Copies of this chain bind each other. A is one copy, B any other.
């Protein structure tokens, strides 16, 4: 008997609990505050936000919403009209220390009344300063988890992330990418349980892949220049989320809960007209890494 939406939903709730617990421990003093919210048309969520010592601002959202599919979404997703059910966990963390990367993770499940279903999700890392060794560590772990499920997963989903987390107007990737996937259903004979097993592995990779980067760097001293650069890079993060991110656009367009959607925005950001870092500086080196198609795991 196939896995059902209740089991997936329960799993996502437990995942949120588990990640929040581990993040609180890693932060030290910070604690998540929770807002439970309801969607008038059906379902709701638990938004959890931390403003901690090392995690300057972070959100870990769970939601499970359902009801008749709004007409705009029917068109956008190119599905038949009917009732939908969507659940997932979504995370964005903005660390205080510029030597710790910003991270984003999302796992989600969607189904329609006619029997259509799919999983989606991804993890991507946005270092303020690209560290080649950390990037390799990050991508190797993603590759390892992907290869446990299918040899094509890592190369395909890695490229998908490169293409998705891209600021077209800057010709820059958001960071060093990661993996991104959507509409994973029963194509090529995959069972639902197999897809779900992969998504669970992605969700459970979040802490092992991020906490070491936080631990190793959170206490490192940093300069005013590095802090300024962090704020400028956060400006780019804002640009991506508000201009290009389909999830954000979708949420705002369809009157989702604004504060939950925009918890991904940084505590502060800067914009400086036509800023170019000094040639050969660490900032210039990072910019040079923000390209598609880099084989980080090599």
Contacts and interface: CB of A to CB of B under 8 A. Distances in A.
Contacts of A255: 168-169
A267 B271 contact: yes
Contact of A242 (B35, B59, B238, B263): B238
Kindly list the 4 A-B residue pairs having the minimum CB-CB distance in the complex, ordered from nearest: A242-B242, A265-B271, A169-B252, A268-B270
A273 B57 contact: yes
A284 interface: no
Report copies per complex. Answer: 2
A273 B235 CA distance: 17
A258 B59 contact: no
A231 interface: yes
B274 A35 contact: yes
Contacts of A261: 169
Given A49-B273, A231-B268, A258 B169 contact: yes
A50 to B, nearest CB: 9
Interface in A246-274: 249, 252, 255, 258-259, 261-263, 265-274
B269 A269 contact: yes
Contact of A272 (B258, B267, B273): B267
Contacts of A49: 273-274
A249 B169 CA distance: 10
A297 B68 CA distance: 44
A239 B266 CA distance: 13
Contacts of A262: 239, 271
A197 interface: no
Contacts of A238: 238, 242, 269
B273 A59 contact: yes
Interface in A158-183: 168-170
A79 interface: no
A255 B242 CA distance: 17
A59 B57 CA distance: 31
Contacts of A235: 265
A74 interface: no
A211 interface: no
A243 interface: yes
A259 B242 contact: no
Interface in A29-47: 35
Interface string A215-257: 0000000000000000100010011001100000100100100
Contact of A268 (B243, B268, B274): B268
A224 to B, nearest CB: 14
Interface in A45-63: 49, 51, 57, 59
A235 B269 CA distance: 9
A12 B271 CA distance: 27
Which of A57, A267, A268, A270 has the largest number of chain B CB atoms within 10 A?
A: A268
Interface in A82-118: none
